[in-house]
Structure 1
Amino acid sequence: MEKRTSTLALLFVVWSAVAAIQVDIPKKEYEFIRGDNITLPCTFKTTQSNPPLIIISWSAEGPDTPADETLILTHYHPGGLTDIKSKYEGRVSVDVNVASGKADLKLSSITMADNKEFECRVQIPGDDEGQPADTARLTVLVAPSNPICKIEGKAEYGQNINLTCYSEEGSPPPTYKWDSRDVRNMPRVPDPRTTDKGGILSLYDISKETSGYYICTSSNKISSATCNIPVAVLPPATNTDSTAGIRAILNLFCGLVKD
């Protein structure tokens, strides 16, 4: 009797798993290059052989997406009516084949704003057990823009300065690496005290030998871009040097006035 009960329970579990809607997006993450026309696949299986009504919806949620703007479209079967939200009109459609259980989302000219988690949901009256929805992350790939190199601090003997490097665009976010050449444009090993982190190259207690050319490479899985900046380390200006400079300017000005 116990064996029969166990068998029946197992059959019930198997039947329950089969007799439940199953929505599936094959991968958890998709990567495409900005500007591409893409397809996010979605399949569904239902327990009903000829459902009287099927409602398919796609939505997308990002960190800054308001709750009332997540819905992209809703498709109704039979009838073939697709209601597309105004924000997506002209760039989305849904490819539906009920017989094969297809409900793919087609999205054209993707932008960085499409870096979101997308959800495919299928609603069938009387078949609401199982997995009625599935999600996947869309990552829009963008090559790093030409980085901007800057010097922070005074390039004078004994000072500490930072060389900064930043690309305004890039997805995934770029990583940065600095290289250095001396005044003869020869590669050189960086000072052991130098730190290179997050696009900031920190140079400590700089001297004449610090002078040279500094090249930053910004890269991600798409491509890379570089910028370079010359650094000329000079002795600190003294009050005497400043006074002499002011006098020279005044003398020149006076001479021009007399002429």
Structure 2
Amino acid sequence: MAWLLGPFFCRTLLGFLCLNALGLAVEVKVPTEPLSTPVGKTAELVCSYSTSVGSNFALEWSFVQPGKPISASHPILYFTNGHLYPTGSQGERASLLQNPPTGGVATLKLVDVRPSDTGTYLCNVNNPPDFYTNGLGLINLTVLVPPSRPSCSQSGTTSVGGSVALRCSSSQGAPKPVYSWARLGSFPTPPPGSMVQDEVSGQLILTNLSLTSSGTYQCVATNQMGTASCELTLSVTGSSEGRVAGTLIGVLLGVLLLSVTVFCLIRFQKDRKKTPKETYGGSDLREDATAPGVSAQASPEADSRKGLMERSPSASTTTTTKSKLPVIN
């Protein structure tokens, strides 16, 4: 039994001496679950480590935007030789929970978080000659942002029987908002299948439109931080065939009315020409009528002669006799 313990003890002692000669491993611990912080608040990114801190100890926090590789990260702050050096635009809002971070805690505090702070943060501990691990921990942070006011739009054919697509989208919102459409007011329920919406894309499809489909539609964008909405008014008109038929009927009625008007005017002119002038019969002689061929100017002379002829003979004789008597002075 003793001879078995001898080799085991020797191997253990040899391994311990080798580790001391070559250095210990650096172990970094960070949360495994993603973190989330409302916009404008303070985020604390916990990072702890275990190593034998020496004169070569160094700590670096860096940041990489979503979708980019780790190699594209840029530093936020750097600690070495007992001094802390903030770097970059985020460095103005970043600090360490414990400074100096030589007690095994390297938690980063970031104040007034912004939507642009969403991404991956790297806690990197470097302590030569401890080279057995990369001493790196990754933390994913999401800055929660309420939905911005969405933009509503439409496309398609807004005539009877047509189809339209109503769209709704917010430029900001984390997590990504979901969208719901509703028609405002009291209206008949649309037939099944004629109104289909997608909560992820924010699209509402309306098919087989009728005049009752007209109205105001509201889109609401929602996430855990709040809601925002926009409205759109849909006006459904008659079908193109109906508009063409209506226009044709209107033209025909106009032509018919014009034709009837022209016919009545022509008929009126013809009837006016056929109406005889006013005449008098032979026995209905007027007292002031003039003989044919005699002008109206001759009528006074004829009346004068007629008056002379109608005077009595005695009156004429008397007048003659008186004219023959001598004048006595």
TM bucket normalised to smaller: 0.7 to 0.9
SS in 1 for 2:239: coil
TM normalised by structure 2 equals 0.62
Alpha-carbon offset, residue 10 of structure 1: 9.3
Structure-1 separation of matches of 2:89 and 2:115: 15
Structure-2 separation of matches of 1:162 and 1:156: 13
What does residue 175 of structure 1 align with?
178
Structure-1 separation of matches of 2:36 and 2:128: 34
1:128 equivalenced with 2:106 (yes/no): no
Q: How does 1:65-84 map to 2 (within 5 A)?
A: 67=71, 70-77=74-81, 79=82, 81-84=83-86
What does residue 215 of structure 1 align with?
218
CA displacement 1:128-164 (0-9 Å, x = unmatched) = 2245111010101110011122221232101110111
What does residue 91 of structure 1 align with?
93
Cα distance change, pair 118–212 in 1 and its aligned pair in 2 (3 A): same
Structure-2 separation of matches of 1:165 and 1:219: 12
Q: How does 1:60-209 map to 2 (within 5 A)?
A: 60-62=63-65, 63=67, 67=71, 70-77=74-81, 79=82, 81-95=83-97, 96-98=99-101, 100-130=103-133, 132-181=135-184, 185-186=186-187, 188=189, 191-197=192-198, 198-209=201-212
Is the 2:39–2:115 contact (alpha carbons within 8 Å) kept by the matching residues of 1? yes
Is the 1:180–1:187 contact (alpha carbons within 8 Å) kept by the matching residues of 2? no
Question: Any unmatched runs of 5+ in structure 2?
Answer: 251-329
Structure-2 separation of matches of 1:146 and 1:8: 72
Cα distance change, pair 229–98 in 1 and its aligned pair in 2 (3 A): closer
CA displacement 1:219-240 (0-9 Å, x = unmatched) = 1121112222232322135357
Cα distance change, pair 66–135 in 1 and its aligned pair in 2 (3 A): closer
The aligned amino acid for 2:145 is V
Runs of 4+ with >4 A deviation: 1-13, 64-69, 239-244
Alpha-carbon offset, residue 86 of structure 1: 3.4
The aligned amino acid for 2:33 is K
Give the greater-gyration-radius structure (CA).
2
Q: How many residues align?
A: 237
TM normalised by structure 1 equals 0.77
Please, which moves more after superposition, 88-97 or 219-228? 88-97
Over aligned residue pairs, what C-alpha RMSD do you find?
A: 3.4
Structure-2 separation of matches of 1:231 and 1:154: 11
Greater RCO structure (CA 8 Å; 6+ sep) = 1
What does residue 231 of structure 2 align with?
228
Structure-1 separation of matches of 2:11 and 2:155: 72
Question: Any unmatched runs of 5+ in structure 1?
Answer: 245-259
Higher helix share: 2
Alpha-carbon offset, residue 87 of structure 1: 2.6
